[in-house]
Structure formats: C-alpha cells, structure tokens
Amino acid sequence: MSSSFMSIFSVEPQTLAILASLESQLIEVDTSEGLDSPDWVPLTPADGIELKDLWLVEWESNVNQALFLMDSQHSAKIWNDRDSEFLPNIKRLKEPLCRNLANLILIELSAFQAYWPRKKGETKFRGLFFSDGPLERFLEKTSKSFNLPDSTGRQFREKMKSIQHDLFYSGKIPPTTEFQDWRLGGLGVGISYPFWDGLFEPGRMPENEAVIFRGISSLGTGITLFRKFDPSKKNEVLAGGGGLITLGQERTFPRDFFRNPELISVSAAKLEVMIQEVILQNPAGKEILKDILTSLGQVIQFLTSQCESFRNSVNLLTISQERLKAKLRG
C-alpha cells in the first residue's frame, strides 16, 4: 500500500483538533438554537438541552485526552472559534494546497449529524439530532471559511445519506429494529456508533492507545487508528472512509464493527463521496481509484473468509465496489 495512496486519508493531530473544534462549536450552536427533537422521545426542550450538555462534557473529555496523547507538543485540543490557535488553522485551510484536506474535514463534519446521550442505567437510546436550520447554516459558514462554495457541506451530507440508503436498498438489508423509529434512518444510526455503550471496547490495547482510540472514534464513524502505514510514526489516523480499505491488514476497528451493516455503509458512503469530490479531481485520480478498488477487493476477500455474521457487510461492500468501478469507467 503506497504512502501516496493512503496519505489522502491520513490526518495529523492538528487536523483532528480542527475537526473536533468545529464539531464542538456545532453542538453548542444546536444547543442554543436548535428546537427539534424526535417526536417519539418524551423530552421537553429543557430535557434535551440538559442531556446535550451532559453528553458534550464527556465527549470533549474523551477527545481532548486523545489529542493530548497524540500531539508531541501537546498543543492540539478543542478550541472555540475565537481562540488564537484556531483561527490560523482555519486560514491555512483556505490555501489551494490544502483543498483536499479542507474537503476531508468537511465530509466528516457533514456526517456528524446527531448525538446520542443516554442516561446511566438506561437500556433505550435517546436520539437527539441537530435541527436542520442551525446545522445547514453552520455547514454553510464552514464551507465559506474554507473558500468552498456555500452549499458544499450540505451537498456532502445529502450525498452520503443518499448513498447509504441506496446501499441498503440494493443489498436488501433490513433496518436494525432497535432504531426503527429514528427519523434520520440508517445514516444516523451508523454515525452514532462511537456512542453506543458496549461496542466501545478497545480490547487489549495499551492504556494510552485505548484512550486515543476512544477519543478519535468519538469524532465520527470510521475514523480509526492504522499502525502499519508509516513505521516511522507511532499512530496513523485515517478519516474519510479510508479505514474501510484497511480491514484485514490491521485491527483498526473492534470486531463487532464488521458485523454491523449500518457502520460499514456509513464508512462506504464517506469513501464514495471522498473519491468523487477529492480523489477524482486529481489528475492521477483514476490510478488512485484502481489502488482503492484493489484494496477493497482484499477487504471483501478477508471478510468472506470469516464467519457468516459478516455476510451483510460483504454484500454491502461488494455493491460499493461495483459503484466505484462504474466511476472508474465513467
């Protein structure tokens, strides 16, 4: 696997800090301006704000611990929009040379559509999603700050929702019954993965690595560690669906990730948007896509060799592979 191939998906601690800061700011905007809550959840607006605030404290703690351990200078952290460290980083992303990175951050931010606080001891999820108005305005503002068209973030979000829906429809995958009333559908379910109790076990990782895993996973489904890409670095972090094409080469996700089609489909949706909006805009884009298809074929082969519980995920990845082949021919 060449560095030129995977470097497109690789993000440094400072980049993760920008993404985390934008997500934190989005949550705060939604808490102050958002009015929507699922009709089927018996929450008053005050209840929703309280749950969001409780969730945000734990989320920021997890993310900041991970950033601290990853950054040798210990300067990467969640910033507010007025912090002196935040503004230069945003300005840097306006530069043409950083266009791919700006798109990668925006893809991840656009997928961060909702959050799922759950009170201790509860067995039911409480789905709290971002109100459409504040979310769309924040994506528009962020797109403009990256010198991208205002509609870029919203279009990324709509494309990912459409791709995820198409994958499930083509694969004839039944929705998970536990989430059957969720208005956001499969994309929302998949994006909520980092906050599911019981699936967030890093196994036998060293303690510091487990803290990093938990923190970066909290930034979005499919953002993951990959340790074989560059031996000179302690940890690589892959975003934009890049982690999906490393399955079988390294244990980048908990094993249960492979068994859940919502999680696989969200990563596949991110990957397809990343290919369409970033990679294929590169003069060498089709050659890079060929490498991605080769790796995706290896992932499918690996999962096929595993137990039957991976069957739905294999089906989804095979459909995703055919969709990407069509882009190569196009």
| Per-residue model confidence (pLDDT) at position 39 | 44
Retrieve residue 271's tokens. Answer: 């990957």
Q: Domain locations in the chain?
A: 3-329
| Per-residue model confidence (pLDDT) at position 280 | 95
Phi, psi of 122 (to 5 degrees): -75, 150
Lowest mean pLDDT among 154-163, 177-186, 297-306: 177-186
148 has pLDDT over 90: yes
| Per-residue model confidence (pLDDT) at position 224 | 82
Average of per-residue pLDDT across 149-177: 87
| Per-residue model confidence (pLDDT) at position 330 | 79
273-283 per-position pLDDT tens digit = 999 999 999 99
Instruction: Indicate the helix (H) or strand (E) that contains 238.
Output: strand 236-238
b/e burial code for range 214-230 (CB count within 10 A of at least 16 → b): bbbbbbbbbbbbbbebe
User: What does R_g of the chain's alpha carbons equal in angstroms?
Assistant: 19
In the chain, how many H helices and how many E strands?
13, 5
| Per-residue model confidence (pLDDT) at position 123 | 53
63 has pLDDT over 70: yes
Q: What is the β-pairing status of strands 224-226 and 114-115? A: unpaired
200-259 per-position pLDDT tens digit = 455 555 677 778 877 888 888 788 877 655 556 666 788 999 988 877 565 556 666 777
| Per-residue model confidence (pLDDT) at position 326 | 96
DSSP code string of 255-283: HHHHH-HHHHHHHHHHHHHHHHHTGGGST
C-alpha to C-alpha distance for 72 and 313, rounded to whole angstroms: 37
- Structure pTM? 0.88
51 has pLDDT over 90: no
Residue, of 30 and 227, whose pLDDT is higher: 30
Residue, of 25 and 184, whose pLDDT is higher: 25
Give the C-alpha distances (Å, rounded to integers) separating 244 from 67, 84, 215: 22, 35, 18
Using pLDDT thresholds of 50, 70 and 90, give the confidence band for residue 47: low
| Per-residue model confidence (pLDDT) at position 230 | 55
Using pLDDT thresholds of 50, 70 and 90, give the confidence band for residue 35: low
Using pLDDT thresholds of 50, 70 and 90, give the confidence band for residue 40: very low
C-alpha to C-alpha distance for 265 and 185, rounded to whole angstroms: 12
Task: Read off the DSSP letter of residue 214.
Answer: H
Amino acid at 19: L
| Per-residue model confidence (pLDDT) at position 151 | 97
